[in-house]
Structure 1
Amino acid sequence: MIDRQRAARAIEEFLRALGRDVEGELAGTGERVADAWADDLIEGEAIDAAAVLREGAMETGPFERGLVVARDLSVTTMCPHHLLPGHGTGVVAYLPGARVAGIGTIAHVLDALARRLTLQERIGGQLVDLLVGELGARGALCKLTLTHTCLIARGERKAGA
């Protein structure tokens, strides 16, 4: 559970430590940032991605054994090393086994896994593991193409990274 008031105070203290006045244009920034983190940026921390996948899946019918591909899925995550966002797209493909989940469910699970303090590699690995473990997929792939703000805006300054 996120303590929003404590987070807001910590953000204000962080801004003061940077030598900024938390009045004027920065008034209320602590609360806005705490709300953004809790409601959007790391909302996946509170979601059981495996349960979402299980609940959105159904038994595979005789004509549902072909490759399922979801592409151009929007992905946003937060780097645990620098607390900066990564954003891009994902492609998920799997061969259904005993159960099949639709594109909407796959997109929801990907979003739940991404909206955390986590690494790109972990998101893809966790999604593949869930598809195989929860659905009995005969094979699965998750390709994420993200732009990492921690590499663009910091000392590395690697455009397109």
Structure 2
Amino acid sequence: MPPSRPRRRAPAPPPAPSALKPDPVAMARAVRDFLTAAGLSLQDVNLVDTPTRVADVWSNGFLDGYARTPEEALGKTYPAPANSSGELVVVSDLRFHSMCPHHLLPFTGRAHVAYVPGTRVVGFGRLASLVDCFAHRLILQEELARQVAQSLARVLDSPATACILEAEQACLRLRADHQRDAVTHAEAYEGLLRRDGPLRRELWARLGARR
């Protein structure tokens, strides 16, 4: 009998809200240890308050997404219009920042989010909050797109969702061959948009028209 193929391990689900609660005091202490291990003097006037500042920006700017659920990020939803018949809702160029889990280096870019209303709709600004809910975690760009698209489909009962990300990755631009102009792209589709049909072509026509 031919050897059986190893099963692909399913990606781990994102941590539950509040599963990670940053400890700023312990974080600052760890930063002090890191700087000391790097051979730097904490007596340097520029480094005296660095551990506290680093702990604060990580707690409130890079890891605060763990404390929110997609439902909380999207907030109040509303019944979809009665005359809704499969039209796309698209919000493009949502600025975001996140942190790569491999090197703890930042990546920044623009998110384009789309969905077809199912039973519920949501305010446009809440789509940016949903992106930040996942972006403010240690997450890969590909997984960020996937989590946004899946959450929209689930929370809004949408038959078609998409999240397309364009980003500048510090670990690519600053390391290796210094690919200073590299831009990375990640796409995730759910429902009807998973097929390369008229709906997806309409989405890309709208995104192309914005340039």
TM-score w.r.t. the length of structure 1 is 0.94
Please say which of residues 33-42 and 55-64 is displaced more in the overlay: 55-64
- Give the paired residue count: 160
Match of 2:5 in 1: none
* Amino acid corresponding to residue 50 of structure 1 in structure 2: E
The alignment status of 1:92 with 2:105, answered yes or no, reads no
The alignment status of 1:52 with 2:73, answered yes or no, reads yes
Match of 1:18 in 2: 38
Contact 1:64 1:100 in 2 (8 A): no
The alignment status of 1:126 with 2:147, answered yes or no, reads yes
Q: Pick closer, same or farther for the CA change 1:81–1:156 going to 2, 3 Å.
A: farther
Deviation at 1:62, TM superposition (A): 1.7
Residues in 2 aligned to 1:64 and 1:35: alpha-carbon distance in whole angstroms:
44
* Amino acid corresponding to residue 175 of structure 2 in structure 1: R
Deviation at 1:2, TM superposition (A): 1.0
Match of 2:163 in 1: 142
Residues in 1 aligned to 2:167 and 2:76: alpha-carbon distance in whole angstroms:
26
Q: Choose between structure 1 and 2 for higher RCO, CA contacts under 8 A separated by at least 6 residues.
A: 1
Match of 2:138 in 1: 117
- Residues 122-152 of structure 1, C-alpha deviation per residue, up to 9 Å, x if partnerless? 1111111111111111111110001001111
- Residues 92-142 of structure 1, C-alpha deviation per residue, up to 9 Å, x if partnerless? 011111111121111111111111100111111111111111111111111
* Amino acid corresponding to residue 51 of structure 1 in structure 2: E
Give runs of ≥4 in structure 1 deviating > 3 Å. none
| Corresponding residue to 1:5 among 22, 25, 31 | 25
Identical positions, percent: 36
Match of 1:35 in 2: 56
Unpaired segments of 5 or more residues in structure 1? none
Deviation at 1:156, TM superposition (A): 4.3
SS at match of 1:15: helix
More helix by share: 1
Structure number with greater Rg is: 2
SS at match of 2:39: coil
Q: Pick closer, same or farther for the CA change 1:146–1:45 going to 2, 3 Å.
A: same
